[in-house]
Structure 1
Amino acid sequence: MSPEHQTHVAHFVAEVFGGEKLYTMLDNGSHASMIGKHIGKMLTEEKRQRWVQLLLQTADEVGLKSDPEFRSAFVGYIEWGTRLAVINSQLTENPITESEPMPKWGWGETGGPYMVDDPK
């Protein structure tokens, strides 16, 4: 993976977890553009599992929080996102439009990862 791609992925994941909006602001990205990067790539379950393994190993190496609640949410998102990436990689057209909001992952509350920021 190129250093540029690493940065884009880091910005995306950080934004999904409520960090600064670096992916949308600096990388000029959107949820649709992230999905679009996977269209037609024909990812396999083996590749998905290896990617998950590398992400979790990296989380340990960089000292990401290790408390159970945080890691559970992190692993849940990684599993959700990578499984969707495999599904989307089998498609020929992007099912997400530019108007779709960036996903925002929470701490396991119902409603899933698609939560629009509270306008308050």
Structure 2
Amino acid sequence: MDQKSTIPTLFEWAGGMPVFERLTDLFYQKVLKDPILEPVFKHMSPEHQQHVAHFIAEVLGGPEWYSTAEGSHFKMVQKHLARHLTEQHRQRWVSLLLETADEINLPDDPEFRSAFVAYIEWGTRIAVINSHSDELQMNPEEPMPKWGWGVPGGPFLG
């Protein structure tokens, strides 16, 4: 077996779907108490946090639950249209998510966190950009993003 096939996905390294569902459950509890984010999210559906967990998990190499049963990359991006998100919203969202990641002991090795934060930064910046438009200039068949380890190539194993 070559080394590449033994490298876990970011999803696997994090601990699987229960970890992502716990992350988003606790995170959105904070969001609904936050003066900056509560007005943006107060009308979210009861399933919202689970959809976000499944979306992030799929992007990081988890099962294709979001794209096969809950939506698509196009539909996720579409949800941000005309929301007029600000940089302050984005920064607070990222800050609360990373705070929650620390609280639930999401892996904190430099390689995992580098990849995780890179995706969160990329995704939230795309959300802000699209939130200032009323129509989406994107192929509806655009595949889900797939995020990997990046430059480090895998976890640090000491």
**Structure-2 residue corresponding to 1:7:** 50
**Structure-1 residue corresponding to 2:61:** 18
Gaps of 5+ in 2: 1-40, 152-158
Compare CA radii of gyration and give the structure with the larger one: 2
> What is the TM-score with the length of structure 1 in the denominator?
0.84
**Letter matched to residue 76 of structure 2:** M
Deviates more, 1:72-81 or 1:53-62: 53-62
Q: How does 1:12-51 map to 2 (within 5 A)?
A: 12-27=55-70, 29-51=71-93
**Letter matched to residue 88 of structure 1:** N
Q: Percent identity among equivalent residues?
A: 63
Q: State how far apart, in whole Å, the 2-side matches of 1:36 and 1:26 are.
A: 17
- From the two aligned structures, give the one with the greater helix fraction: 2
Q: Does 1:78 align with 2:114?
A: no
SS at match of 2:47: helix
CA RMSD of aligned residues (A): 1.2
Runs of 4+ in structure 1 displaced over 6 angstroms?
Answer: none
Task: Count residues with an aligned counterpart.
Answer: 108
CA offset at residue 4 of structure 1?
1.2
Q: Could you list the per-position Cα deviations for residues 11-48 of structure 1 after superposition, in whole angstroms to 9, with x for gaps in the alignment?
A: 10000000011111231x10100000000000000000
